[in-house]
Amino acid sequence: MHIHILGICGTFMGGVARIAKALGHRVTGADAGVYPPMSTQLEAAGIPVVEGWDPAQLEPAPDMVVIGNALSRGNAAVEAVLDRGLPYTSGPQWLAEEVLQGRWVLAVAGTHGKTTTASMLAWILEYAGLKPGFLIGGVPLDFEVSARAGEHPFFVVEADEYDTAFFDKRSKFVHYRPRTCVLNNLEFDHADIFDDLAQIQRQFHHLVRTVPGSGLLVAPADDANLEEVLKMGRWTPVERFSLQGGALWSAAAVSGDGSRFEVICQGEAVGEVKWRLTGRHNVANALAALAAARHAGVPPAVGVEALRRFQGVKRRMELRGEVRGVRVYDDFAHHPTAIETTLSGLRAQMGKGRIIAVLEPRSNTMRAGVHAQALPASLAQADQVLLYAPPELAWDADAVMAPLGERCRVFHETAPLVREVAERAAPGDSVLVMSNGGFDDVHARILAALEARP
């Protein structure tokens, strides 16, 4: 079967493409923005991608068109699919019908930490010899790909609450029907499709409704927003995790930077994790992954062994390089809570070293200004902040960032921003670049500018 994927370079749709190719389909695709790591993944998999939405890409007609949720009515390729009556579906629906049927699905949902927790979970199952399939919204360094078909029965999926497609406005995760479901946390986000937190909670409850009574929900012990979701009704046992103790899963002897901790399950110590990750949020992610893995049959002690070897995820505090004593990190943080926790983890790791935060408010929610007023406080751990304000920003960046005073500078182009970082950075500094997009490749440009500095 020939499957053509519109919006193929998104992390989810690129994963769908790789799985479809592995299942023996002929796969092609198209997108408007093509950049690593997904572009290199697709090239390595032998999946041809065309740039743009020329309807000619649909000739001869594919057997199925999979349409990504970034595309809407008015798109030339979408209009051609509808006008010609070509068969089409969404990525989540294709995954559910063609891959997840009959499998033990382990889904990881939540506002923050989905990619990292799903990567941990897939790695724990892999380490235990279970050879899971997975589709993750990032690239786990232990696998170097974001998706694979794997072997039956286990499949790990990052369960996103964003809508499915222009013709299906339900959250993606309602398609997956997991047996094991992690609910990591819940905050208001995606203001472009949700009016308020209650709407997101309703979608999360739709997910809870799909988990069987013989399944498992894994949830934090201290998230009031998720508690409201569970109070809407549940039919599945819940295992709680907490860094404060008092839950079935907890952590003890947590180091200041989160790089070492002891795992406690049902009041018993099951092992110590010493790993390359930092931040208390990643300790919580680890507890959730261990709980989910145990439900799939992996003993906690084996899960702890796996986490000691876990390498992390691309674009999640990924060290892109070090030049002249300046370390440049790349992180996907784009919500104030994620920005704050990422900076806190780096601060705990560095101690008194100087942090230069470089931020692109790129998500639809951030560009609309929904969380703008929370940004200055979320950046408090940074010594200096360089904010890129793209033309489509709906708020006054200079006014919003004013509370940071001289610690913050706003840029409307990336070239002067890169020059400023290269001029300011000194040996021992860490440059933390945060964006959920390509950000004009400023990471590599900063490293090059540092290298070229006299």
pLDDT-derived band of residue 440, with 50, 70 and 90 as boundaries? confident
- Please report the pLDDT score of residue 358 as a whole number: 93
- Please report the pLDDT score of residue 35 as a whole number: 67
For 100, the token pair is 């997840």
Mean pLDDT of 35-43: 74
Mean pLDDT of 342-371: 84
- pLDDT tens digits for range 100-110: 999 999 999 99
Q: Read off the pTM.
A: 0.86
H or E stretch at 274: strand 268-274
Between 293 and 370, name the one with better pLDDT: 293
Query: pLDDT over 70 for what percent of the chain?
Result: 99
Mean pLDDT of 334-358: 85
Residues spanned by CATH 3.90.190.20 within the chain?
A: 318-452
- Please report the pLDDT score of residue 37 as a whole number: 63
Q: Count Cβ neighbours within 10 Å for each residue of 48-77 and write b for 16 or more, e otherwise.
A: ebbeebeeebbeeebebbbbbbbbeeebeb
Query: pLDDT over 90 for what percent of the chain?
Result: 69
Window from 62-71, 124-133, 208-217, 390-399 with minimum mean pLDDT: 390-399
CA distances from 310 to 72, 125, 127 (A): 38, 12, 10
Residue 397 has pLDDT above 90, yes or no: no
CA distances from 67 to 94, 136, 177, 206 (A): 10, 18, 21, 23
Task: Read off φ and ψ for residue 15, nearest 5 degrees.
Answer: -65, -40
**Number of neighbours of residue 364 by Cβ within 10 angstroms:** 14
Measured CA to CA, the distance from residue 96 to residue 254 in angstroms comes to: 39
- Please report the pLDDT score of residue 392 as a whole number: 84
- Please report the pLDDT score of residue 205 as a whole number: 97
Mean pLDDT of 89-114: 96
Mean pLDDT of 29-58: 86
Residue 267 has pLDDT above 70, yes or no: yes
Mean pLDDT over all residues of the chain? 92
pLDDT-derived band of residue 36, with 50, 70 and 90 as boundaries? low
Residue 201 has pLDDT above 70, yes or no: yes
For 374, the token pair is 């929370």
- pLDDT tens digits for range 307-330: 999 998 887 888 889 988 899 999
Residues spanned by CATH 3.40.50.720 within the chain?
A: 2-89
Mean pLDDT of 85-99: 98
Residues spanned by CATH 3.40.1190.10 within the chain?
A: 102-308
Beta strand segments in 91-245, E = 104-109, 133-135, 147-148, 154-158, 163-165, 168-171, 180-183, 216-220, 238-242
- Please report the pLDDT score of residue 3 as a whole number: 98
Q: Which CATH superfamily is domain 318-452 in?
A: Mur ligase, C-terminal domain (3.90.190.20)
pLDDT-derived band of residue 219, with 50, 70 and 90 as boundaries? very high
Mean pLDDT of 73-99: 98
Residue 39 has pLDDT above 80, yes or no: no
Q: Indicate the fold that domain 2-89 takes in CATH.
A: Rossmann fold (3.40.50)
Q: Which CATH class is domain 102-308?
A: alpha beta
Q: What DSSP letter does each residue of 313-365 carry, written as one string? A: BTTSSEEEEEETTEEEEEE---SHHHHHHHHHHHHHHHTT--EEEEE---SHH
- CA dihedral for 212, 218, 221, 223, sign (positive or negative): negative
